[in-house]
Amino acid sequence: MKRPMFVSILTSILAIWSFISCDKSDDNASSIDPKFSWEESASNPNEIIFKNLSEGDYLYVEWDFGNGKTISKTTDKLQEPSVHYPVKGEYSVTLTLWGQTNQASDTKTTIQTITILNDDENYEPIEGLIWSDEFDGSSVNMNNWKFETGDGGWGNQELQNYTNGDNAHIEDGKLIITAKKVNDNQVAGSYTSTRMVTWGKQEFTCGRIEIRAKLPSGRGMWPAIWMLGSNIGDAGWPACGEIDIMEYVGFEPNQVHGSIHCPASYGATEFTKTLPLENCEEEFNNYGIIWTEESIQYYVNDPENPFYTYAPSNKNADNWPFNKPHFIILNAAVGGTWGGAQGIDNSIFPQTMEVDYVRVYEL
């Protein structure tokens, strides 16, 4: 059958456009050339300095140093990461370039294997450590964390909008979470902040869990270091269990709280203890729990001196949902049923919670 002329013309145009598009995509991919060099630090042969030598028109660089350290997509093409390899061996280092379309199909990767000949004689492994984030990269390690976002109140009538990483960065080996004021209205979305979770990435059942942090201050702030049961999607809250390793409210300075939430007691839970801590807003402190099959002990700075122990004698699903994996949460809320119980002082912003490390030890 003879086709109408306009159909033939349209078909020809589409064919030409498809050819051009494919050709352009191929050009994008072929126009970038990933390269990098590396050298030992003059002061320590276990410290390796990397340099991006890539050519072409690309948007981002992404590093995987083969030892668990990574740098997520960044526009800083000139950075020279310094990475410590304390243990001898071979490590595959990967550099990925993201082209102008910012699509996975428009990336190019190069891999080099570096060989560390000797253990670092000055390196002292931390006894019993099974996982940690020392925040010693240039960006948040998304192999460990994801950002939860939104301004829906988070079950506590909180007023912050949690952003997708805009309120968190790494600086001098520390995670900095910043709560910012957007306007003076003191309604949902009047502030921005960060809520980071290890859900689906790093989850734990029992162990000693310790976080070294310096807290924000001021009326209206409600920072927390805590854990939720990984089965929350199925079991819901409080059946999943909640372990509040540290909570602080700005209208009650110089003290921190440790609490348990479960079906046996939740919300204004009876399973809680307050600890006076004069320097918590000015100095770093180690907030931790020792979690066994029998009990959860809370401590600050000294694991040998717990200030609260939760240990129901007859354990059941209502009082002990702590025999299943839990994930870690770091957040700095603004306002809410507890944090905003005495209002919010809008003059205090911005406020920061600084985290030096998060560590999990086996018992």
* Catalytic one of 134, 247, 252, 283: 247
**Distance between CA 60 and CA 139 in Å, rounded?**
14
Q: What is the largest CA-CA distance in the chain?
A: 90
First to last CA, the chain: 79
Confirm if 164 and 149 have CB atoms less than 8 A apart: yes
- 121 catalytic? Reply is no
Say if CB 269 and CB 260 are below 8 A apart: yes
With beta carbons less than 8 A apart as the criterion, state whether 39 and 115 touch: no
Q: Considering the candidates 203, 242, 294, 362, report the single residue annotated as catalytic.
A: 242
The amino acid present at 304, given as its one-letter code, is E
Answer yes or no: are the C-beta atoms of 160 and 192 closer than 8 Å.
yes
Contact predicate 66/93, CB 8 Å: yes
- For 46, 84, 113, 119, 125, the CA distances from 122, given in Å and listed in that order, are 10, 12, 24, 9, 10
CA distance 60 to 71: 11
**CA-CA distance, 354 to 213, in Å (whole number)?**
5
Element of type H or E holding 232 = helix 232-235
Determine contact, residues 305/167, Cβ cutoff 8 Å: no
Rounded-to-integer distance, Cα 5 and Cα 338, Å:
72
How far apart CA 159 and CA 164 sit, in angstroms, is 16
Q: Count of CB atoms within 10 A of residue 271's CB?
A: 18
Active site residue 247: yes
Q: Catalytic residue positions?
A: 242, 247
